Structure 1
Amino acid sequence: MGVCRRHLLAAALLFLSTTAADPNDERCLNHLSESLSDPHNNLRNWTKSIFSNPCEGSISALQGATCNNGRIYKLSLSNLSLKGTISPYLSNCTNLQSLDLGSNSITGPIPPDLQYLVNLAVLNLSSNRLSGPIPEQLALCAYLNVIDLHGNLISGQIPQQLGLLVRLSVFDVSDNKLSGPIPGSLGNRSGNLVRFNVSSFEGNKKLYGYPLPPLKSKGLSIWVIVAIGVGSGFVSLVLSFTAVCIWLRITEKKLDEDEGKINQHMPDY
């Protein structure tokens, strides 16, 4: 009888563990839903009633969500015309291993709070309108294999700390507003670490360092050169004209003096 009770208790606990939502996931989904705008109603089933129980084993009723052991494991919300910002409370989805918000119209900064997604392996925030710096705290997500931030308005320097991500195999920050040197730990990786080529960094006018080609010196524009030439010619003309005038004045004065001397020595008749 005791054995039966233990089996029943274990089955009940298993049932509860697979049906009850993790409060962190529920909080994460609620805040993410509030921070994003969905103009085409693609996330019509993102409702609080479903947030309370988003997973049934590995199946999720939520658009773009995948579950594992009753927890949100993957969020794939790309190409949905989403607007708004990325909620820092996304970090409550602590079991999240893949986050894809690419090809939307999301604005604002990348929250440093993403550092708490310690299981995160894939981060795709490409082709949005994100601004501000790349948080150095992302280096605390030690399992990151993919960081794709291309096609945004991200500014500042690439954090040196990202070079500590030894699992990183895809890194793309092209077509942003980044500046300063490319960290050697990312641009010139050695050993068994995956190396990143020019395509990972191009499209940032003020970014420099290997593997990008050397920055071209801006030099003087053709109009500046023409202006300098015209200006120099005009100055030379003025100086030459002035010198001629002075020479003529001196010559004329000398002739007058000589004529005076001649007149003084002429005999009277």
Structure 2
Amino acid sequence: MDVTGRLLAAALLILASAAADPGDEKCLTDLSESLQDPLRNLKNWTKETFANPCQGFTSFLQGATCNNGRIYKLSLTNLSLRGTISPFLSNCTNLQALDLSSNQISGQIPPDLQNLVNLAVLNLSSNRISGSIPPQLALCTYLNVIDLHDNRISGEIPQQLGFLVRLSVFDVSNNRLSGPIPPSLGNRSGSLSQFNASSFDGNRDLYGYPLPPIKSRGLSVMTIVGIGLGSGLVSLILSFTAVCIWLKISEQKQDEEESKVGQLMPEY
């Protein structure tokens, strides 16, 4: 290649590195619009930065890590962020780690995250997220960490998540989940990572292994009071019935005695 060709190739490389991937740019733009930053911690989250957030492995965006000019990791923890998670976050197709923990984010987990086929870490813990866990997350086959503890998530745990063979950390404790723990998550075998009760604690209507049996998980105060009142009422009824039977038997005996005495008395 002559000098002119090399200069042209270098110029094209510079232009390519100066422009953001269109998907990353849309991903960041929509995420910034769906999140609220009342303390203005994300000062450089601007359209100008979104147009060129990465240059090789160098990141110009707070909370972002770059790899070959693409957004590789987003870590926006403990920033008092509010709002919701944009479904267009799925446009960051090279994203391998998403950490939005310890904020005040609400809304639901977008099923669109299924398009993050390279995602290995999903940490949305300690927020105000509600709704259910989308079963579509099972399509992120590289998921190694799912941490959703301390939220307001309801519904059942999707059985499909048990098919994530790389999953080594799973925590849904302190939510509002219900129904059975899928055996594919609660009773894993072989080389698959196993999860203990701490991964599922704090969900009142969730049951199944590895949680202790329901009968040994304690009774509510109202249940105890109800049992006490019920036992007292049954005891009272039994006592009253026993007294009635005793009086009836005593009355019969007395009648029999009087009858005998009457037969022994002489007639005048």
Q: TM-score range by the shorter chain?
A: 0.7 to 0.9
Q: 182-191 or 130-139: which moved more?
A: 182-191
The reply to whether residue 191 of structure 1 matches residue 190 of structure 2 is: yes
The structure-2 alpha-carbon separation of the partners of 1:126 and 1:222, relative to structure 1 and needing over 3 Å to count, comes to closer
Structure 1: 5+ residue stretches without partners: 252-265
Q: Deviations over 1:181-227 (max 9, x none)?
A: 11111111122111111111111111112211111277793422342
Cα distance between partner residues in 1 of 2:224 and 2:152: 31
List aligned pairs for 1:135-146, cutoff 5 A.
135-146=134-145
Cα distance between partner residues in 1 of 2:18 and 2:62: 18
Identity %: 67
3-state SS, counterpart of residue 214 of structure 2: coil
List aligned pairs for 1:157-196, cutoff 5 A.
157-196=156-195
Shift of 1:172: 0.9
Cα distance between partner residues in 1 of 2:109 and 2:219: 37
Shift of 1:107: 0.5
The reply to whether residue 93 of structure 1 matches residue 92 of structure 2 is: yes
**Conserved in 2, the CA contact under 8 Å of 1:101 and 1:126?**
yes
3-state SS, counterpart of residue 179 of structure 1: strand
Structure 2: 5+ residue stretches without partners: 255-267
3-state SS, counterpart of residue 103 of structure 1: coil
Name the counterpart of 1:65.
64
Q: Which amino acid aligns with 1:178?
A: L
List aligned pairs for 1:144-159, cutoff 5 A.
144-159=143-158
Q: Which amino acid aligns with 2:195?
A: F
Q: How many residues align?
A: 258
Cα distance between partner residues in 1 of 2:214 and 2:244: 45
Cα distance between partner residues in 1 of 2:100 and 2:78: 8
Shift of 1:94: 0.6
Cα distance between partner residues in 1 of 2:119 and 2:5: 37
The reply to whether residue 42 of structure 1 matches residue 41 of structure 2 is: yes
Which structure: larger Rg? 1
Cα distance between partner residues in 2 of 1:13 and 1:132: 46
The structure-2 alpha-carbon separation of the partners of 1:170 and 1:7, relative to structure 1 and needing over 3 Å to count, comes to same
Cα distance between partner residues in 2 of 1:234 and 1:182: 43
TM-score w.r.t. the length of structure 2 is 0.85
Name the counterpart of 1:208.
207
Q: Deviations over 1:104-157 (max 9, x none)?
A: 110010000000011111110011111111110001111111111111111111
Name the counterpart of 1:225.
227
3-state SS, counterpart of residue 226 of structure 2: helix
**Conserved in 2, the CA contact under 8 Å of 1:17 and 1:70?**
no
Q: Which amino acid aligns with 1:77?
A: L
3-state SS, counterpart of residue 66 of structure 2: strand
Q: 179-188 or 86-95: which moved more?
A: 179-188
Q: Which amino acid aligns with 1:39?
A: P
Shift of 1:229: 4.4
3-state SS, counterpart of residue 153 of structure 2: strand
3-state SS, counterpart of residue 216 of structure 1: helix
Name the counterpart of 1:24.
23
The structure-2 alpha-carbon separation of the partners of 1:5 and 1:141, relative to structure 1 and needing over 3 Å to count, comes to same
Shift of 1:235: 4.9
TM-score w.r.t. the length of structure 1 is 0.85
Cα distance between partner residues in 1 of 2:232 and 2:189: 54
The structure-2 alpha-carbon separation of the partners of 1:187 and 1:242, relative to structure 1 and needing over 3 Å to count, comes to closer
Q: Which amino acid aligns with 1:191?
A: G
